[in-house]
Amino acid sequence: MNRTNLSVILILGIFLSKGCSKVPGVDSISFEINQKLNPGINIGNALEAPNEGDWGVIIEDEFFPLIKSAGFNSVRLPISWSTNSDVNPPYAISTDFMNRVRHVVDTALDNDLLVVVNVQHFQEIYTEPVKNKPRLLAFWRQIGLVFKDYPPELLFEPLNEPHFNLTPELWNEWIPELIDSIRGTNPNRTLVIGTADWGGIWKMKQLTLPAEERNLILAIHYYEPFRFTHQGAEWEKESNDWLGRTWTKTSDQMKELNKHFKMIRKFADSLGVPVYIGEYGCYHRAPEESRLIWTKTVSEQCEKFGYSRAYWEFCSGFGIYDTSAKQWREPLRTAVVGSK
pLDDT in tens, 141-166: 999 999 999 999 999 999 999 999 99
Mean pLDDT of 113-129: 98
Which residues make Cβ contacts (< 8 Å) with residue 237, sequence separation at least 6?
none
Whether residue 268 is predicted with pLDDT greater than 70 in this model: the reply is yes
Domain assignment present for residue 7? The answer is no
Domain assignment present for residue 11? The answer is no
pLDDT in tens, 226-257: 999 999 999 999 999 999 999 999 999 999 99
CB-hemisphere CA count at 13 Å for 256? 13
Residue 93 pLDDT grade (very low, low, confident, very high; cuts 50, 70, 90): very high
> Which pLDDT score is estimated for 323?
97
Domain assignment present for residue 211? The answer is yes
DSSP state of 205: G
Q: How far is CA 47 from the centre of its chain?
A: 14
> Which pLDDT score is estimated for 118?
98
> Which pLDDT score is estimated for 212?
93
Indicate the burial class of 232 (C-beta count within 10 angstroms; 0-12, 13-18, 19 or more): middle
> Which pLDDT score is estimated for 27?
60
What residues make up the domain containing 261? Answer: 27-337
Domain assignment present for residue 1? The answer is no
Domain assignment present for residue 41? The answer is yes
Which residues make Cβ contacts (< 8 Å) with residue 25, sequence separation at least 6?
none
Whether residue 108 is predicted with pLDDT greater than 60 in this model: the reply is yes
Whole-model pTM? 0.92
Whether residue 76 is predicted with pLDDT greater than 50 in this model: the reply is yes
CA distance 217 to 276: 7
Closest of 171, 169, 161, 177 to residue 42, by C-alpha: 161
Whether residue 24 is predicted with pLDDT greater than 90 in this model: the reply is no
Domain assignment present for residue 17? The answer is no
Q: How would you classify the pairing of strands 114-118 and 154-157?
A: parallel
Domain assignment present for residue 140? The answer is yes
CA distance 308 to 274: 8
Residue 18 to residues 71, 201, 303: CA-CA distances in angstroms?
19, 21, 7
Whether residue 272 is predicted with pLDDT greater than 50 in this model: the reply is yes
Domain assignment present for residue 139? The answer is yes
Residue 28 pLDDT grade (very low, low, confident, very high; cuts 50, 70, 90): confident
Contact 308, 37 (CB under 8 A): yes
pLDDT in tens, 9-20: 333 333 333 444
CB-hemisphere CA count at 13 Å for 245? 19
Q: How would you classify the pairing of strands 154-157 and 321-322?
A: unpaired
> Which pLDDT score is estimated for 335?
98
What percentage of the chain reaches a pLDDT higher than 70?
A: 92
**pLDDT higher for 229 or 21?**
229
CA distance 3 to 337: 23
Whether residue 326 is predicted with pLDDT greater than 70 in this model: the reply is yes
How many folded domains does the chain comprise? 1
> Which pLDDT score is estimated for 340?
59
What's the CATH code of the domain at 50?
3.20.20.80
Mean pLDDT of 169-176: 98
Closest of 190, 131, 123, 135 to residue 161, by C-alpha: 123
